[in-house]
Amino acid sequence: LIFVCSPNNPTGTVVPGDVLLDFLDHVPPETLVVLDEAYREFVTDPRVIDGTTLLDRYPNLIVLRTFSKAYGLAGLRIGYGIASDASITNAVRQTQVPFAVTQVGQAAALACLEPQAEQQLAERVKEVTAERTRVTEALRGMGYQVPDSEANFVWLGNGEPADGGIDAVQFGKRCEAQGVIVRVFADAGVRVTIGTAQENDAFLAAALP
Ligand SMILES: Cc1ncc(COP(=O)(O)O)c(C=O)c1O
């Protein structure tokens, strides 16, 4: 069993389509590949392939999506997986009862797929991705090294300040002292969720070296 998370949490980085195809071509057909696309709706990089278009070509692939992120339904606990091979979906079905989704969750997910809601989603995603670019560029302008993110957060890795790195724990404390909470991974870095323009400005002010 191999998990591929693209965009990846917590770095926001992606596996470009050509790399993913090359990888899938080298995986033995009896090995299941789970492609976690929880942040797919935030992807703007044209090099990224939509995993659901690969299912006929790779019967050992299952693509996971969620309504928890761009759709904002995390509290309702609803997502889905798509595979072309019935032996995969049947195996998932056998574990379904303890993980069943609620009727309320299903109703909300269906409402999210209505054209009007899809339009609102597109507008929200556009705002987030524009702010993601602004925050990334502002941080780079301050000297931080920030990987290109295709998710709704950006990543600052631990390292020497001269190389654009941070000390995650110290950085987290500094932000918190200014009323901004970032997700600290003590040994690795911090993940910063993209918020409203005002929230992002508060973060950028806290991040000033
Ligand atoms: C990469 C990734 N996959 C899946 C999930 C979980 O999604 P769900 O809320 O549908 O369980 C998350 C949530 O943090 C995530 O970051």
In a 3-state reduction of DSSP, which class is residue 189? strand
Confidence of residue 21 (pLDDT cuts 50, 70, 90): very high
CB distance 64 to 37 below 8 Å:
yes
**Ligand 1 centroid to 69 CA: how many Å?**
8
**Ligand 1 centroid to 95 CA: how many Å?**
18
**Predicted pLDDT of residue 47:** 97
Task: Give percent above pLDDT 90 in the chain.
Answer: 97
Cβ of 66 below 6 Å from ligand 1: yes
Half-sphere exposure of 152 (CA within 13 A, CB side): 20
Over residues 86-91, mean pLDDT: 96
Question: Which of 69, 150, 185 gets mutated to test ligand 1 (max ligand atoms within 8 A of its CB)?
Answer: 69
For the record, the structure tokens of 173 come out as: 């404390």
Angle between the N-to-C axes of helices 115-141 and 103-112, in degrees from 0 to 180, rounded to the nearest 10: 80
**Predicted pLDDT of residue 99:** 87
Dump pLDDT digits (tens) for 45-74.
999 999 999 999 999 999 999 999 999 999
Ligand 1 atom index nearest CA of 68: 9
CB distance 124 to 142 below 8 Å:
no
